[in-house]
Each structure stands twice: as C-alpha cells, then as structure tokens.
Amino acid sequence: MSVLIPPAAPADPAVDPLVARYLAVALRPGAEPAAAGEIRVRGTVRVGRTWVPLRAVATVAPRAGLVLRARVLGVRRLVEQEHGGDALRRTTSGQATEEDDGVGAARRAHTHRALAALWVPGALRPETGATWQRLDRNRLRVVAGDLDLRLRVHPHGHVLGVRTQGWGDPYGIGRSRWAEIGYEVHAWRSFGAVRVPSTATVAWFPGTTYGREIARLRLTSWEPRAALPTTVRTAPRRT
C-alpha cells in the first residue's frame, strides 16, 4: 500500500528534532491539548481463523485509564474499564454475561490503553512528564506513566508504527502471556486539533516472521475529553 506523507511541520529546537516534528504534526499549534479523547473505530478482528466485524468507542486518558465499549459481530459485547490500577472486563453473548476484575482484566486494559495512547498525543508531551528517547534514525521511545512505547516515525514526523508489551494469547493456545504487540499505520486524518493514525493493522510480533494479525481498524471520529466518563463499576483488582 502506498502512503502519502504530508509536508513536514516545523520542528521545536528545544527537544530532539524527530520528537519535535512528531508533536508538531500530531498537535495543531496554538490549540489546547486534550488529556483524554473519545475515539470511535470500525474494522474487523480475528476470532480463531475467522475475521468478524467490530465497532467500538473508547475514552482514553493515556496517563489515567480508559473506558471501552465494543460490539463484535453485532452480538457479542465487551465493556472494559481501567482507572487507578482497578479494572473490570465484562463480556456478554446473548443472555450470558461474564465479569473479570482480576489481574488479567487489568493487564488487558493496560494493553488497550497503551495501543490507543498515540490517539491522544496531548498526553504525551514532554511538559506533561512524558520522557522521550531517540533509539536510532527513525525510532523513538516514549515513557508516560506506566506506558512504554516504541515508535517508528517518518522523517516528516508522522508515526508509521508502534510497539509495546501486551497481555493476551498470541499463539492461540488458551494461555495468556506478555508478548510484543503493535500496529502499522496506513493513513492519517485530522480531527480538530489533532492529526492521528486513521487506519492501522494490529498484530502480535509485528514485523517478524512470527507476526500474527489480529485486527484491522479504521478511526471514524475523535473528540477531546477533559477526563474519563463515569465508570461502569468500581472493582478492586485482585493480587
């Protein structure tokens, strides 16, 4: 797939030039950066060997938590929330509902928040406490609170891919573990004060011979939010 890169934005000389170009592209100059955002996506996800449709809306505060509501194949519903180290994951299929407020739910929510963090670039600015590091010519590392992300960035500043550690079942064997997860960006889109990835392919072990695609997503809307919405239920995390 060919990718059209818009012209480079001017860099801020106070920080690493590549970091400055990324932030200049992602955030409209002069606009008040949002610490959270409401994101709506459509796409498909892999269930076993089958790809099924997905619709989801998530409010993401990269440094605080998230609330995610998703519908898979129109019949299976997922509600996931995380805040302050507590997490709840609720799945509903037909009349059956399952809830998990344990460590696994917290780790999955953390993974989803990490993958969605680049959709709220205002929370990743150095002045918010995020730490940026140049890894090589086109790769950056950003640590923001409990998130640790590695970005592949075009010289003009547009993010091309993201990597982090995620919790799940990358081999499809019914046992969860930590493994590398990430996505490749195929297009970008401006929503008000931000310019963020608009289409992406999510995979376990991306860019390797072991890579396994698990989702193909398209961002349909983005709205700034001051904070997370009222949570579904506060559930203490088990240790």
Q: What is the pLDDT of residue 109?
A: 95
Q: Is residue 105 one of the residues assigned to a domain? A: yes
Q: What is the pLDDT of residue 236?
A: 42
Q: What is the pLDDT of residue 116?
A: 97
Q: Is residue 71 one of the residues assigned to a domain? A: yes
Judging by DSSP bridges, how do beta strands 50-61 and 76-83 pair with one another?
unpaired
Enter the tokens of residue 37. 């955002």
Q: Is residue 236 one of the residues assigned to a domain? A: no
Let me know: does 111 contact 167? Beta carbons within 8 Å. yes
Q: Vertex 154, ends 151 and 155: CA angle to 5°?
A: 120
Q: What is the pLDDT of residue 238?
A: 41
CA-based nearest residue to 182, from 208, 157, 158, 146 = 208
Q: What is the pLDDT of residue 229?
A: 72
Q: What is the pLDDT of residue 193?
A: 93
Q: Is residue 150 one of the residues assigned to a domain? A: yes
Q: Is residue 235 one of the residues assigned to a domain? A: no
Q: What is the pLDDT of residue 230?
A: 59
Q: Is residue 146 one of the residues assigned to a domain? A: yes
Domain assignment of residue 52, given as a range: 17-25+34-224
Question: What residues have CB less than 8 Å from 84, skipping those under 6 apart?
Answer: 64, 65
Going through the chain in order, the beta strands assigned E by DSSP cover 36-47, 50-61, 65-72, 76-83, 86-93, 96-100, 131-134, 139-144, 147-153, 159-168, 177-191, 194-204, 212-225
Q: What is the pLDDT of residue 159?
A: 97
CA atoms within 13 A on the CB side of 171: 7
Q: Which portions of the chain are predicted below pLDDT 70?
A: 1-14, 230-239
The predicted model scores a pTM of: 0.88
Q: Is residue 5 one of the residues assigned to a domain? A: no
Nearest-angstrom CA–CA distance, 174 and 189: 36
Q: What is the pLDDT of residue 237?
A: 41
Q: What is the pLDDT of residue 232?
A: 52
Let me know: does 180 contact 206? Beta carbons within 8 Å. yes
Q: Is residue 8 one of the residues assigned to a domain? A: no
The count of domains in the chain is 1
DSSP 8-state secondary structure symbol assigned to residue 233: -
Nearest-angstrom CA–CA distance, 54 and 61: 22
- Name residue, tokens 């010519």: 137
User: What's the length of the chain?
Assistant: 239
Side chain identity at 197, as an amino acid letter?
P
- Identify the CATH number of the domain in which residue 47 sits: 2.50.20.10
